[in-house]
Amino acid sequence: MKYKSGFVTIIGNPNVGKSTLFNNLLDYELSIVTSKSQTTRDSIKGIITTDNYQIVLSDTPGHVEASYMLHSKMNKNIFSSLEGSDLIIYVTDIYEKIVNNRLIEAVNKLEIPIYFLVNKKDQLKEKKYLPSVEYSTFSDYDMVSADDKDDCKMILKKIVSYLPIHSPYYLNDDLTNKSERFIVSEIIRKEVFELYKKEVPYSTHIETESFKNEETLLSIYCYVYVETESQKMIVLGKNGSKIKIIGTNSRKKIEKMYDKKVFIDLTVKVLKWRNNNNFIKEKY
Ligand SMILES: Nc1nc2c(ncn2[C@@H]2O[C@H](COP(=O)(O)OP(=O)(O)OP(=O)(O)O)[C@@H](O)[C@H]2O)c(=O)[nH]1
Ligand SMILES: [Mg+2]
């Protein structure tokens, strides 16, 4: 059997379960998942390598109408990750009434096959509901649960059928295109998304300033950017109680990941970063 290898990109609106599917296809948590919309901000590649095939899988941010420079850059990143894909997985869920036609049209223009997935079937009540779209325009479609192992097995099998015969693009032990600094800052951002309400998670950017991985200790220094002084007060909490929770929870997760002692220092900074051209250009 000839080796198959190719690029597969997951796209869709926010909160439909793209990152959940991405992680479950990879079989480890690489992309952060929260119950909040617009969790993913940056495209991320995860690489699945077996004896017979290699899938270079990309998770992308949910496509939103841009109200900040950050969103425009996120959208730009989604469209640029379509190019060169061998297959696009378009994810919607059982709740979405309309699909994102701008995204679908962009894929059709590039003549890339679309595998259309309606996610969260486990939450279906008696009545079966499928979004009203022209199913004949898709190469394939299924109703699935991104959390379900059997569904993911089936999806993987279908993905492989779309891969061209090609040698692997990445080495055997390459797992992602992202740096350890990025992964660590994402783990911290997930904690921020889970601890704070309203606008704080959306106004926060985490930047790993220093990452020193020594034999017995991993030391991480991060900036936590927020947009206003009042958000800084919320993030810190009374006597720094809230930021301490973020630090402790993140530290425990990173210690588990690296199987060693971790030190984390978080410094909160105020900057109107979401509309700051230079900042967005440099970080996203
Ligand atoms: N019940 C159920 N919930 C799911 C399923 N897949 C994802 N979810 C939940 O849906 C929410 C959003 O999941 P994500 O994977 O972060 O969604 P996303 O499309 O990556 O979201 P953005 O990054 O904001 O674009 C989380 O609370 C998930 O646990 C599923 O198959 N069934
Ligand atoms: Mg996501």
Residues 130 and 189 in one domain: no
pLDDT at 120 exceeding the cut of 90: yes
Q: Which of 162, 194, 229 is the last residue of a domain?
A: 162
Q: Please check the confidence at residue 132 and state whether its pLDDT lies above 90.
A: no
Which helix (H) or strand (E) covers residue 265, if one does?
strand 261-270
Could you give the strand order of the β-sheet that contains 205-213, starting from the edge strand earlier in sequence?
Answer: 205-213, 217-226, 261-270
- pLDDT exceeds cutoff 80 at 251: yes
Q: Is the CB of 122 under 6 A from ligand 1?
A: yes
Instruction: Work out the angle between the directed axes of helices 101-109 and 69-82 (0-180°, nearest 10).
Output: 40
pLDDT band at 124 (very low <50, low <70, confident <90, very high): confident
Report which of 139, 102, 150 is spatially closest to residue 117, judged by C-alpha positions: 139
Looking at residue 250, which CATH number applies to its domain? 3.30.300.20
Give the model's confidence band at 127: pLDDT under 50 very low, under 70 low, under 90 confident, else very high.
Answer: low
Distance CA 158, CA 161 (A): 5
Q: Is the CB of 15 under 6 A from ligand 1?
A: yes
For residue 178, is pLDDT > 70?
Answer: yes
The reply to whether 25 and 58 lie within a common domain is yes
Number of domains in the chain: 2
Provide the pLDDT confidence category of residue 2 given band limits of 50, 70 and 90.
very high
Summarised one tens digit per residue, pLDDT across range 51-89 is 999 999 999 999 998 889 999 999 999 999 999 999 999
Nearest-10 crossing angle of helices 241-258, 229-236: 60
Whether 52 and 154 share a structural domain: yes
Q: How confident is the model at residue 128 (pLDDT cuts 50, 70, 90)?
A: low
Q: Is the minimum distance from the CB of 62 to ligand 1 under 6 angstroms?
A: yes
Is residue 43 located within the same domain as residue 122?
yes
Q: Tell me whether residue 26 is in a domain.
A: yes
Q: What is the CATH number of the domain that holds 28?
A: 3.40.50.300
Per-residue model confidence (pLDDT) at position 126: 62
Question: How far apart are the C-alpha atoms of 144 and 258, rounded to whole Å?
Answer: 33
Give the pLDDT band (50/70/90) at residue 109. Answer: very high
Strand pairing category for 87-93 and 4-12: parallel
- Ligand 1 binding pocket includes 168 (Cβ within 6 Å): no
**Which pLDDT score is estimated for 129?**
64
User: What average pLDDT does the chain have?
Assistant: 95
253 part of a folded domain: yes
Task: Pick the range with the lowest mean pLDDT from 11-15, 96-100, 192-196, 269-273.
Answer: 96-100
Say whether both 137 and 249 belong to one domain.
Answer: no
Q: What is the pLDDT of residue 250?
A: 98
Report residue 170's pLDDT band, with 50, 70 and 90 as the boundaries: very high
* Residue 153 and residue 190 in one domain: no
Alpha carbon distance 11, 17 (integer Å): 10
- The domain of 8 spans 4-162
150 within a domain of the structure (yes/no): yes
Q: Are residues 139 and 31 in the same domain?
A: yes
Q: Please give the pLDDT value at position 133.
A: 84
Closest residue by CA, ligand 1 atom 2: 120
**Ligand 1 atom nearest residue 62's Cα:** 25
**Sorting pLDDT into bands at 50, 70 and 90, what band is 142?**
very high
Q: Do 151 and 189 fall within a single domain?
A: no
Residue % of the chain over a pLDDT of 90 = 91
pLDDT of residue 125: 78
Atom of ligand 1 nearest to the CA of 144: 31
pLDDT band (50, 70, 90) for residue 262: very high
